[in-house]
Amino acid sequence: MRKFYTKIFILLICIFGFVFKAYAAEILQVSSSSVLLIGDNNRTYTVKIACTEISTDFEERSVNWLKKQLPRHTKVNLKPQGTVDGILIAKVIPINSNIDITERYINEGLATDKCKS
């Protein structure tokens, strides 16, 4: 039960931290093809990109593509979808394009949308 409350608490902090700030979060690191390290003022968050399923065959190519799309210090908006094991699951939208990175991933042929199944 305590684990449940911890997850809820983390989710609420993330929602209030990202939704009600006047400034955007920024990319600090692309950790894998679907995990990012995001900075927001003095805090950092591990964020898993929502709705993406990437084949292990495309992992290296996907990481390189994602690093080009979201270089360090890219400003992004996050739309939280939930948490798993303390990791925020969110839609990631670069400020300069306003297009969800998942949509671009799918259009590039590197990922499938696991939310539409």
Question: Does an H or E element contain 11, and which?
Answer: helix 2-19
The model scores a pTM over 0.85: no
Q: Are 65 and 101 in contact (CB under 8 A)?
A: no
Q: Are 7 and 83 in contact (CB under 8 A)?
A: yes
Please tell me the predicted confidence (pLDDT) of residue 33: 93
**What's the domain range around 14?**
2-113
CATH number of the domain encompassing residue 63: 2.40.50.90
Tell me: the pLDDT tens digits for 54-111? 888 889 999 999 999 999 999 999 999 999 998 999 999 999 888 999 999 989 988 8
Q: What is the 8-class DSSP label of residue 106? A: H
The structural domain count of the chain equals 1
